[in-house]
Amino acid sequence: MRLERNYRDNKFLKMMKKILLLAIIFFPMALFAQSVNYGKNKLGKYAPVRGLRMYYEEYGKGEPLLFIHGNGGSIADFKGQIPYFSEKYRVIVADSRAQGKSFDPRDSLSYEMMADDYAALLDHLGIDSCRIVGWSDGGINALLLALRHPKKVSSMAITGANLWPDTSAVDNEIHDMVKMMNDSLAKVPQTTDVKAFRKLTRLLSYEPHIKTGQLSAIQCPVLVIGGDNDVIKPEHTLLIAKSIPRSYLWILPNSGHSTPVVYKEIFNAVVADFFAKPYKRFVGEDKFK
């Protein structure tokens, strides 16, 4: 406990941690410099989705399982999950709108748009319902997919998701840094790359806007995951879990925002176990006392 207290009191280390976490949000591909061909597979295809050519890849056979990456990410973010889950599932991974290979030059971008894109992708693939794993923004997309297209989601595991963008949900320093980045981007020449990046930073600063009352409409089993040092505050992750009728909560100790990477073995095992076992309702007590 003393070591942990000293670490938390060290302002320099704390600031470095924030900077690294911010880098993970905006540049998840930096974690995968040695990635093997995920996101670059010759078998990858483009689906005509709502005016977008959405890039996707598939691995394995069995019940469909969709992975949704975070802000500024791509298929390669799930390098640690694809081989594991494709042994049992038909794994579907795609680049979200305006990210990876799913190029979209238009100015508008919202989580609702992306959720609808994924529903259309599942229609394109002839999938009526599937399991979902969503990381960060992908968790937000998964929640909205379950709200806007409930029949598409049989169960899901989300990690590092938030319902709204203020400091009651997001780490204060990260929130301020992203806002400052938005202000800075508005003052530089608006090249194609800058415009694309601004769309993503605006998402982090001004969206989503999901009310806790809405989550009561999600009837599928949900595993809600977060790190105790996540950029999403643990109390907000708890709030999400408490607001979903059929949910489990899992807060990983000594973990930040990148649980599928840093703790990939236990992450994969717990999520697989959650999907494999039927959900049992809590009876006669508050499930999160």
Q: In CATH, what number is assigned to the domain containing residue 224?
A: 3.40.50.1820
DSSP annotation of 164: S
Residue 278's contacts (CB-CB under 8 Å, 6 or more residues apart) are none
pLDDT digits (tens, 9 = 90+) for 28-45: 443 443 344 777 777 799
| Cα angle for residues 100, 51, 70 (degrees, 5° grid) | 30
288 pLDDT more than 60: no
The torsion angles phi and psi of 231, rounded to 5 degrees, stand at -70, -20
Quick one: pLDDT at residue 140?
Answer: 98
285 within some domain = no
**Residue 275 phi, psi dihedral angles, 5° rounding:** -70, -30
pLDDT per position as a tens digit, 213-265:
999 999 999 999 999 999 999 999 999 999 999 999 999 999 999 999 999 99
Q: In total, how many domains does the chain have?
A: 1
Report yes or no on 284 lying in a domain.
Answer: no
pLDDT digits (tens, 9 = 90+) for 115-138: 999 999 999 999 999 999 999 999
**Angle at Cα 260 formed by Cα 103 and Cα 127, nearest 5°?**
55
d(CA 97, CA 69): 11
pLDDT of residue 155: 97
In this prediction, residue 40 carries a pLDDT of 72
For residue 11, how many other CB atoms are within 10 A of its CB? 8
**Cα 186 from Cα 171, distance rounded (Å):** 23
Residue 289 lies in a domain: no
Q: Is residue 282 part of a domain?
A: no
Structure token digits, residue 18: 């924030």
- Dihedral sign for Cα atoms in the order 159, 193, 198, 172: positive
Length of the chain: 289
Give the strands of the sheet with 89-94, arranged side by side.
45-49, 52-59, 89-94, 63-68, 130-135, 153-159, 222-227, 247-252
> Does residue 129 contact residue 155 with C-beta atoms inside 8 Å?
no
Residue 281 lies in a domain: no
CA-to-CA distance for 244 and 65, rounded, in angstroms?
A: 21
Tell me the residue range of the domain where 204 lies. 2-276
